[in-house]
Amino acid sequence: MGFRWSIDLPRYVLFGIWMFINLALVVIQFGLFQGDARYFYMRVRTWEALAFARGPALMINFNTALVLLPICRNLISFVRGCCNCAPRGIRVLLDKNLTFHQWFAWAIVVGSAVHTGAHWYNYERFVSNIGAAGAPGAANPPGLTDASVSSDPVLVCFSTAAGITGHIMVVVLFLMVTSSIEFIRRSYFEVFWYTHHLFVIYLIALGFHQTQRLLPVQSNTAVHPPAVCSERLVNNDPNPLLPPCDTPATFSASGPTSFYWFVVPLFIYIVERAIRLASYCMPVVVTKVVEHPSKVFEIQMKRRWFKPEVGQYIFINIPAASVLEWHPFTMTSAPEEDSFSVHIRIVGDWTDKVAKKIGIGSSDFRQSWQLPKIFVDGPFGTASEDVFNFEVAMLCGAGIGITPFASVLKSVWYKLQDRSRSLKLKKVYFFWIAPDTSSFEWFQDLLQTLEGDMISQGWGEFLEYHIYLTRGWSDKDAKVIMLHDTADGGDAITGLQQKTHFGRPQWENIFDQVSVAHPGTDVGVLFCGPKVLSHTLHKNCNLFNKRANTERARFFYNKENF
């Protein structure tokens, strides 16, 4: 069949390069501390555990330098804007920023586990070898002389800066990792949000971790070969100080290096935070609040110098609901509109507080100045920005995951009306999967307006949408199913021209139909919704790309990430 380019290939290549660098750093550092004569006397004290501790240490430093970069959202948005001419497979990497963040974080966790375990063994070995032959007393870490060292390795460990800061970092990593579990992150977002900011303590502890300089390095191995001299001490040689051991071993303390690894990424992150601080300190004016069916409400806002792109998202903070919480929302407005808007579904404590504060469910009219103050951070780029780079687009949303495509569909309409601009996008397939009829109510007005306008302008074939109702059928819905194939006019559930489908989409058949209908065309598949459906769509993209040729389309999968 031959080799075919996959949009996943750059990610696999990048993963391979990253893994190779990690392994190379561990092996090189391990070999240095296991074989270098400068560390011979420390190996006598601690055996091979020193190398096992120092190898992962370099991997920890490397990934700590990287872990902050994927969450610099302004940086990613800037790079995305600079990569319009890059291959799609490369641009897709920008949408995997949270995946990369998780890679780096897990590497830090694994490295820390090995590093901590090896150093606990080092402390135990060091205490048990106090006064043993084979190494001069000067080979001890600074401040830990044979006479002053306790016989309890725990006390020795917590008497050093490295032991104290190391355990602080271990506790911080444990809290950050356990609070990042998907169940915690989705059900108790505040816990995840607060504990993740403990990374500041982690970086401070890492910066001070090596300040005591506990690792002695022999500086005169040329005139005092440690292997020869140590063997004389172990064998109780009657003349241990004969040449070449007549010159005493001299040691210097190894300086801290961790700070040099993360100082540049930390500077970039600080600049990122400064930009975001300036962004969300700019005043936001609420121009309109709209209450939609199905516990959904819309907030329309304005802010100076706010220039969004299609499908982008923002973080919103409403101090009246919570001072510290920031929540991401995809904008449902088009870039061509004068204001920007978000749709929020009431599904938790924070959204319930926000709804009450802005008067949802109340009959009292409120002026703009009576509404709570809102801070906005963003906008930030997403995969939806690439929709106009394809000739054909498949927009797939599940439940409230339809929000990015409200912006896309509105922008499509505005661009079609602008006769002076040529539009590369020629066909849009829109798929919306929802569990019950109430999920359609807040969005169907937009679809009805868009459908009517497109038909009246002769663009009825441009947008083809398919709405799927998967469960929650009432008696009324059952009757609709019976009359589904024979009913005239609009759909009884949505009021749209195209009928509602009952059940789940047969994605393999859908991809096959699109592939045949658009031979030799690149089709952008954009998705926002649950992970299970994302896996299904991604799998079908890869499946049909294996069959891609001049008679079939090629699919590029993109998923919304926050």
Q: What is the pLDDT of residue 5?
A: 42
Residues 6+ apart with CB under 8 A from 464: 427, 428, 429, 430, 498
Nearest Cα to Cα of residue 330 among 316, 350, 346: 316
Q: Where are the alpha helices (DSSP H) in 331-461?
A: 349-357, 403-417, 441-456
160-181 pLDDT, tens digit per residue, is: 888 899 999 999 999 999 988 8
More confident position, 114 or 462: 114
Residues 6+ apart with CB under 8 A from 251: 41, 138, 139, 216, 217, 218, 219
Q: What is the pLDDT of residue 548?
A: 61
33-64 pLDDT, tens digit per residue, is: 888 888 887 777 777 778 888 889 899 999 99
Give the pLDDT mean for 216-242: 72
CB atoms within 10 A of CB 359: 17
Question: For residue 74, what are the CA distances in angstroms to 18, 78, 271, 279, 283?
Answer: 23, 6, 10, 11, 19
Query: At 11, is the pLDDT very low, low, confident or very high (cuts 50, 70, 90)?
Result: confident
Question: For residue 230, what are the CA distances in angstroms to 121, 125, 138, 248, 310?
Answer: 22, 17, 13, 12, 70
Q: What is the pLDDT of residue 240?
A: 60
Give the pLDDT mean for 373-401: 83
Q: What is the pLDDT of residue 132?
A: 55
Query: At 477, is the pLDDT very low, low, confident or very high (cuts 50, 70, 90)?
Result: low
Structural domains of the chain, ranges and CATH numbers in brackets: 1-127+214-275 (no CATH), 283-380 (2.40.30.10), 384-559 (3.40.50.80)
Q: What is the pLDDT of residue 23?
A: 94
Give the pLDDT mean for 182-194: 80
12-41 pLDDT, tens digit per residue, is: 788 889 999 999 999 998 888 888 888 887
Residue 102, CB-side half-sphere exposure with 13 Å CA sphere: 7
Q: What is the pLDDT of residue 241?
A: 63
151: which DSSP letter? Answer: S
**Per-residue pLDDT for 445 more than 90?**
no
Percent of the chain whose pLDDT exceeds 90: 11
Tokens of 411: 């922008």
More confident position, 420 or 557: 557
Give the pLDDT mean for 272-281: 85
Q: What are phi and psi of 12, to 5 degrees?
A: -65, -40
More confident position, 152 or 169: 169
Tokens of 227: 């292997």
- Burial code (b: 16+ CB inside 10 Å, e: under 16) for 241-255 equals eeeebeeebebeebe
Cross-strand partners of 28: none
Give the pLDDT mean for 422-436: 82
Q: Which amino acid is at 507?
A: W
**Per-residue pLDDT for 518 more than 60?**
yes
Percent of the chain whose pLDDT exceeds 70: 81
Nearest Cα to Cα of residue 511 among 469, 450, 471, 466: 466
Q: What is the pLDDT of residue 2?
A: 36
What global pTM score does this model have?
Answer: 0.76
Q: What is the pLDDT of residue 133?
A: 52
Give the pLDDT mean for 186-190: 76
Give the pLDDT mean for 468-490: 59
Give the pLDDT mean for 238-246: 66
Q: What is the pLDDT of residue 464?
A: 82
